[in-house]
């Protein structure tokens, strides 16, 4: 994976974010390179969702700069920001599906708004995207309230991918899925990355995902990035939280089994 | 680069060729669809057909799906179609698309007349069910009240006070304003029209009796339905949506006791107080207009009121008000509990709550009028 600056699709520098008198992120800097799958790990409540929401502009930052597709979001005009927003897709931690639209309409919605396509093609592509994430056409006609938690996640992923974005932000995409579905989800993301040149920013707690699909990992602890690099770098890291996370009992089990199967 | 699709008929024995090139992306999807539709298939010989995609520079899911659709259309026309010259980076995406939507479930078509009839039937049974639900809720409320009498410590005092504050105290300013205006308007109209036959003073009778018996309580009930009833429905509805009510139930708590009883008790307590203040304000507004517009000095207005208004008129209004509060509270809670998963249904139920409770309040007012007339009040 190249690390030359011109390939950096997203650049965050010295980001400080907080609420009231609580500082959640204090001087976070990171880069996401084109075509990579970046995993972000951190303790629950450690500010991963806040980091993601700040990058996509839903939370105001206190200080720092965010550059996406070589556009500094602070200096960009509203039109430029809209153009950037069309090029990214977002999966929220709770799915955030529109509750009065069916699953398929949820996927169709961004296409309908941004693309000039015939209705038949819209429906077919939306159905195809739903099938890619493992939702059958019958389930596509259900309302979000009638879907299971894992199905909501998949529909939300399909919606995030609706416009074939260049970068997708996924907030815990595999939580709530069974291990087999989570594995399929991971390989789907891998496929999309290869075929579409997709860049993925993925907040996750899933050690399997981290081991199998993530090219690079960033560990957030103590309100900062404490480690960045591939799994090997994480295993070598001496920060106590990273050590507990990657060399704790649960992770030893996983790396142990994957070592024996390889 | 604009996408192209060229049809090439090879020699006999050689496969037919469709040559695709350019950007097969969402931006060009509309023109691509036209190009695909424009292809005319010859007699359905079972000939081989190669779709050559070597020239495609850019491909996204929309383009990939169009290619897949094209090859399916060819196969449906009896050709032995396949994609050739697939470069490695597109293979995964095309395979994904190839695996998709093999078996489409049949769309259920409905006769529009039958659908209308069905809607009518559903609405009719819905009306019956509404009544049953309301009665069921009354029953559950009664059992919750009975339980509270046996274990008074279980009554949620703090919550009731909180709702009393919101539905009663915080409603006072707007109730003051509205009833003052209504009283003033009635006085002005009464004086204006009664004067024509020299009975301007009788406007006071009109104000006193109308406000105390009917208008004070009705205006307040409508305000309360719009203000508190709708917020009860929205609160309970969003709690229902986020499974908070189910969570309460699994903790062994009765939502009727925890959520509804305090709200309804607060409403039943607040409403007579609001009615009292509202009526007084309307009388005050009427007096102001009688003085400033009708030239009737305040002492005369008060003396005249004393003559025509009896305690009975006042009682009639006050007796009605807690019953109206009960109806508003019950309707608001029952609609809130019927909210399904979507934001739309929350909006629908909130509207329904206000409309139904105002309707029921007015119908009930009619029955009260008959009742009071027959017992001579
Ligand atoms: N809107 C908000 N207002 C105030 N504090 C907030 C807000 N959003 C998040 N926080 C706080 O910021 C901190 C980080 O929250 P965040 O949601 O980013 O955690 P997380 O790392 O995503 O955790 P999880 O893995 O459980 O999703 C928490 O302490 C949270 O209470
Ligand atoms: Mg989170």
Q: Are residues B173 and B33 in the same domain?
A: no
- Is B299 among the domain residues? yes
Structural domain for B92, as ranges: 4-98
Q: Are residues B242 and B156 in the same domain?
A: yes
Q: Are residues B45 and B161 in the same domain?
A: no
- Is B61 among the domain residues? yes
Are residues A12 and A18 in contact, defined by beta-carbon separation less than 8 angstroms? Answer: no
Q: Give the ligand whose atoms come closest to the C-alpha of residue A43.
A: 1
The whole-number pLDDT of residue B348 equals: 92
Chain B contact probe: residue of A188, A196, A197, A198 with most B CBs at under 10 A: A196
Q: Are residues B78 and B196 in the same domain?
A: no
Tell which one of A15, A24, A39, A58 to mutate to probe ligand 1, the residue whose CB is within 8 A of the most ligand atoms: A24
Which of A144, A163, A195 is the closest to B93 by Cβ? A195
Last residue of a domain, one of B37, B69, B98: B98
Q: What angle is formed at CA A68 by the lines to CA A63 and CA A69, rounded to 5 degrees?
A: 155
The whole-number pLDDT of residue B327 equals: 94
Find the mean pLDDT for residues B202-231: 93
The three-state secondary structure class of A154 is: helix
Last residue of a domain, one of B83, B98, B113: B98
- With an 8 Å Cβ cutoff, is B132 touching chain A? no
Rounded distance from Cα A181 to ligand 2 centre (Å): 21
Find the mean pLDDT for residues A35-42: 89
- Is B216 among the domain residues? yes
0.90 surpassed by pTM? no
- Does the distance separating the beta carbons of B90 and A163 come in below 8 Å? no
Residues 6+ apart with CB under 8 A from B155: B148, B261
A208 burial (CB, 10 Å; 0-12 / 13-18 / 19+) is middle
pLDDT digits (tens, 9 = 90+) for A47-69: 888 998 898 888 888 988 888 88
Ligand 1 atom closest to A52 (CA): 18
Closest-approach residue (CA) in chain B for A196: B60
Nearest to B211 by CA among B178, B172, B173, B182: B182
- Is B105 among the domain residues? no
Domains plus CATH for chain A? Answer: 34-59+85-247 (3.40.50.300)
Whole-number percent of chain A with pLDDT over 70: 92
- With an 8 Å Cβ cutoff, is B61 touching chain A? yes
- Does the distance separating the beta carbons of A121 and B90 come in below 8 Å? no
The whole-number pLDDT of residue B103 equals: 63
Contacts of A163 in chain B (CB under 8 A): 26
Q: Are residues B195 and B310 in the same domain?
A: yes
A229 burial (CB, 10 Å; 0-12 / 13-18 / 19+) is middle
Find the mean pLDDT for residues A113-138: 83
* Whether residue B88 has pLDDT greater than 80: no
Which of A117, A118, A132 is the closest to B96 by Cβ? A132
Report how far apart, in Å, the C-alpha atoms of A169 and of each of A38, A56, A59, A70, A201 are: 10, 9, 15, 17, 5
Side-chain half-sphere of B289: how many Cα atoms within 13 Å? Answer: 23
Indicate the helix (H) or strand (E) that contains A32. Answer: strand A22-33
Token reading at B134: 């309301």
The whole-number pLDDT of residue B102 equals: 63
- Is B359 among the domain residues? yes
Q: Are residues B62 and B156 in the same domain?
A: no
Tell me the residues of chain B between 217 and 246 that have a Cβ less than 8 Å away from chain A.
Answer: 241
Token reading at B254: 């009765």
Q: Are residues B42 and B165 in the same domain?
A: no
* Whether residue B178 has pLDDT greater than 80: yes
Chains A and B form CB pairs within 8 A to the count of 83
Are residues B2 and B20 in contact, defined by beta-carbon separation less than 8 angstroms? Answer: no
Report how far apart, in Å, the C-alpha atoms of A229 and of each of A12, A14, A225 are: 16, 19, 11
Distance from CA of B234 to the nearest CA of A (A): 16
Indicate the helix (H) or strand (E) that contains A203. Answer: strand A199-203
Rounded distance from Cα A204 to ligand 1 centre (Å): 15
- What residues line ligand 1, using a CB cutoff of 6 Å? A 19, 24, 42, 44-50, 93
In whole angstroms, what is the distance from residue B26 CA to residue B66 CA? 10
Q: Give the ligand whose atoms come closest to the C-alpha of residue A42.
A: 1
- Is B265 among the domain residues? yes
Q: Are residues B310 and B224 in the same domain?
A: yes
**Domain CATH number, residue B55:** 3.30.750.24
Contacts of B104 in chain A (CB under 8 A): 137
- Is B160 among the domain residues? yes
Q: Comparing A81 with B16, which gets the higher pLDDT?
A: A81
pLDDT digits (tens, 9 = 90+) for A152-190: 888 888 888 888 888 999 888 887 778 887 888 888 888
* Whether residue A259 has pLDDT greater than 50: no
Q: Are residues B191 and B322 in the same domain?
A: yes
Token reading at A225: 């990035």
Looking at the structure of chain B, the number of domains it has is 2
Helix axes B112-150, B311-337, angle to 10 degrees: 120
Nearest to A197 by CA among A37, A26, A67, A89: A37
Which of B33, B100, B340 is the closest to A121 by Cβ? B33
Residue nearest to atom 6 of ligand 1 (CA): A19
Distance from CA of B100 to the nearest CA of A (A): 6
Q: Are residues B236 and B316 in the same domain?
A: yes
Are residues A186 and A108 in contact, defined by beta-carbon separation less than 8 angstroms? Answer: no
Out of A29-38, A102-111, B93-102, B231-240, pick the least confident.
Answer: B93-102
- Is B109 among the domain residues? no
Q: Are residues B92 and B156 in the same domain?
A: no
Q: At A1, is the pLDDT very low, low, confident or very high (cuts 50, 70, 90)? A: very low
Are residues B16 and B52 in contact, defined by beta-carbon separation less than 8 angstroms? Answer: no
Q: Are residues B180 and B276 in the same domain?
A: yes
pLDDT digits (tens, 9 = 90+) for B279-305: 999 999 999 999 999 889 999 999 999
Last residue of a domain, one of B53, B73, B98: B98
Which of A115, A116, A137 is the closest to B104 by Cβ? A137
């Amino acid at each position: 994976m190249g690390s030359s600056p011109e390939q950096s699709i997203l650049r965050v520098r010295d980001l400080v974010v907080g609420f009231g008198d609580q500082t959640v992120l204090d001087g976070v800097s990171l880069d996401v390179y084109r075509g990579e799958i970046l995993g972000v790990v951190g303790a629950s409540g450690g500010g991963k969702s806040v980091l993601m929401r700040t990058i996509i502009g839903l939370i105001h930052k206190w200080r720092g700069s965010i550059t996406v597709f070589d556009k500094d979001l602070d200096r960009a005009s509203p039109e430029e920001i809209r153009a950037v927003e069309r090029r990214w897709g977002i999966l929220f931690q709770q799915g955030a599906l529109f509750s009065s639209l069916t699953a398929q309409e949820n996927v169709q919605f961004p296409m309908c708004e941004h693309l000039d396509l015939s209705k038949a093609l819209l429906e077919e592509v939306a159905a195809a995207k739903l099938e890619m994430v493992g939702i059958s056409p019958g389930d596509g006609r259900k309302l979000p309230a009638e879907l299971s938690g894992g199905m909501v996640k998949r529909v939300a992923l399909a919606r995030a991918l609706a416009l074939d974005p260049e970068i997708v932000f996924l907030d815990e995409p595999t939580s709530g899925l069974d291990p087999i579905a989570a594995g399929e989800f991971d390989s789907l993301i891998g496929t999309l990355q290869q075929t579409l040149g997709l860049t993925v920013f993925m907040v996750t707690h899933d050690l399997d995902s981290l081991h199998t699909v993530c090219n690079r990992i960033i560990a957030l602890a103590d309100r900062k990035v404490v480690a960045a690099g591939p799994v090997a770098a994480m295993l070598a890291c001496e920060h106590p939280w990273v050590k507990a996370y990657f060399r704790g009992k649960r992770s030893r089990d996983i790396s142990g089994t994957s070592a024996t199967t390889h | 680069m604009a996408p192209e699709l060229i049809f090439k008929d090879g020699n006999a024995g050689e496969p037919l060729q469709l040559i695709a090139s350019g950007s097969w992306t969402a931006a060009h999807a509309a023109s691509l669809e036209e190009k695909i539709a424009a292809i005319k298939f010859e007699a359905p010989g079972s000939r081989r057909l190669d779709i050559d995609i070597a020239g495609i520079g850019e491909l996204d899911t929309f383009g990939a799906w169009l290619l897949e659709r094209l090859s399916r259309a060819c196969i449906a026309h009896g050709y032995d179609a396949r994609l050739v010259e697939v470069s490695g980076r597109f293979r995964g995406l095309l395979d994904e698309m190839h695996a998709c939507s093999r078996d489409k479930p049949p769309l259920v078509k409905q006769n529009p007349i039958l659908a209308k009839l069905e809607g009518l039937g559903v609405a009719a049974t819905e009306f019956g069910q509404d009544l049953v639900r309301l009665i069921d809720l009354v029953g559950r409320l009664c059992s919750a009240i009975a339980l509270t009498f046996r274990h008074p410590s279980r009554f949620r005092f703090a919550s009731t006070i909180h709702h009393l504050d919101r539905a009663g105290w915080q409603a006072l300013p707007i109730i003051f304003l509205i009833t003052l205006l209504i009283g003033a308007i009635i006085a002005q109209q009464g004086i204006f029209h009664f004067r024509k036959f020299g009975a301007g003073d009788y406007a006071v009778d009109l104000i006193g009796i109308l406000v105390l018996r009917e208008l004070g309580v009705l205006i307040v009930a409508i305000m309360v339905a719009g203000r508190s009833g709708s917020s009860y429905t929205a609160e309970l509805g969003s709690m229902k949506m986020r499974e908070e009510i189910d969570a309460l139930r699994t903790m062994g708590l009765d939502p009727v006791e925890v959520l509804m009883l305090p709200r309804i008790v607060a409403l039943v307590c607040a409403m007579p107080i609001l009615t009292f203040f509202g009526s007084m304000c309307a009388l005050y507004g009427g007096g102001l207009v009688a003085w400033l517009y009708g030239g009737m000095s305040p002492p005369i207005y008060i003396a005249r009121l004393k003559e025509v208004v009896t305690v009975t008129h006042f009682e009639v209004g006050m007796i009605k008000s807690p019953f109206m509060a009960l109806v508003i509270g019950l309707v608001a809670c029952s609609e809130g509990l019927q909210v399904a998963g979507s934001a739309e249904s929350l909006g629908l139920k909130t509207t329904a709550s206000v409309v139904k409770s105002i309707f029921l309040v007015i119908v009930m007012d009619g029955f009260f009028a008959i009742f009071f007339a027959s017992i001579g009040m």
